[in-house]
Amino acid sequence: MWFLVAIFGYLLLAIVLVLDKIILTKNVGRPVVYAFYSTIFMLGAFLIYPFGVQNLMGMDWVIAIVSGLSFGFALWTMYLAVARGEASHIDPFIGGVVTIFTFLLSSFYLGEGLSNTQMLGIGILLFASFLLSFEKTKQHSGFHVGFLWAILSGILFAISHVSAKYIYTTYDFLSGFVWTRGFVGFVAFFALLSPAVWKTFSPSRKKDKKAQYLQNRKRKFTVILVTINKIIGVVAVICVQFSSSIGKTAPVFAMTGVQYALMFFMIYGLTRVSPRILKEYFTRRELIIETIAIIFVVVGSALFVL
């Protein structure tokens, strides 16, 4: 069951990542602004508190806070990375880093053991993620500063995943989800320190009525698009977190390669069919490498159900 739930969650996350790139390049522009609107939504998780959510005990509060804050800052640094590179490369690279550190942390802190077949699957998915991260564009050739932000993002995601898994093993899923995801919203208060965020609350000062109308229309469209994206994201996170709570942490998050393979197809399709919405630079060599990587994703994921 955990495998099917994880697959569905990663399909939704692939859609979220594509929309993230569109919103960052076409609508928002500043990663800190998008980080604010992406995390503030998660405060809504606390509204579920009256419906049977358990209070945490002792140091479990600290672990839940660490899980939430690290997830929020992981999103922020991911947006910084994607803004400096192409999503079809940066996001898979983050997935590879997440796989490495989730496996190391879950083995050390949670004592999770894996079969030889699952270890092979993790290795194949990790290799596929790094193949998918090969970047050759007009602006970049190989490693660039965006990948430094990506490394930090991957480490933070891994910390969040493993600490959340600890909470799920101690409390019921609803309680674990509310506390670990609700604290993600506190990252929005850090983003509020940026003047760029405050400017989004200010009304347009343009005297040209037509320009003001178009700007207000764009702002409303952006809010609607971000809201839809975040709703899809919440459903996706619930699916992935639930699959992690009933399965082992490392295999679930190693399957992020499926997410990046789906994302690649979506971005390539938009580039070919509707470049005005989203366009990325693809070379013939790149397409061959990424096709091979996708084959490895299918093989690696299949090893988890054998």
**pTM of the entire structure?**
0.78
Q: How many domains does the chain have?
A: 1
Give pLDDT tens digits along the chain (306 positions).
778 888 898 899 889 888 887 887 766 668 888 888 888 888 988 998 988 889 999 999 999 999 999 999 999 998 898 888 777 778 777 877 887 788 778 878 777 777 788 788 778 877 877 776 766 655 555 556 788 898 899 899 999 989 998 898 889 888 998 999 999 999 999 998 888 888 776 665 555 666 665 666 767 777 788 888 888 988 988 888 788 777 776 677 667 777 877 888 888 888 888 888 777 777 777 778 877 877 777 777 667 655
Question: What was the pLDDT predicted at 206?
Answer: 54
244 close to 164: Cβ distance less than 8 angstroms: yes
Distances (CA, A) of 282 to 137, 256, 290, 295: 7, 22, 10, 18
75 close to 156: Cβ distance less than 8 angstroms: no
Structure token pair of residue 285: 């060599």
Question: What was the pLDDT predicted at 106?
Answer: 82
Residue whose structure tokens are 């940026």: 194
Instruction: Let me know the angle formed at the C-alpha of 297 by 259 and 140, rounded to the nearest 5 degrees.
Output: 70
> Nearest 5°: phi and psi at 152?
-60, -40
Torsion of CA 51, 161, 32, 277, to 10 degrees: -90
- Give, as one character, the DSSP assignment of residue 185: G
Question: What was the pLDDT predicted at 90?
Answer: 80
Listed in sequence order, the residues at least 6 apart from 180 whose beta carbon sits closer than 8 Å to its beta carbon are 64, 67, 68, 71, 160, 163, 164, 167, 241
Q: Which residues pair with 141 in a beta bridge?
A: 136
Question: What was the pLDDT predicted at 212?
Answer: 66
CA pair distance 271, 255, nearest whole angstrom = 25
| Full domain range(s) for residue 286 | 2-302
CA pair distance 228, 248, nearest whole angstrom = 30
Neighbours of 288 (CB within 10 A): 10
Question: What was the pLDDT predicted at 131?
Answer: 76
Question: What was the pLDDT predicted at 215?
Answer: 66
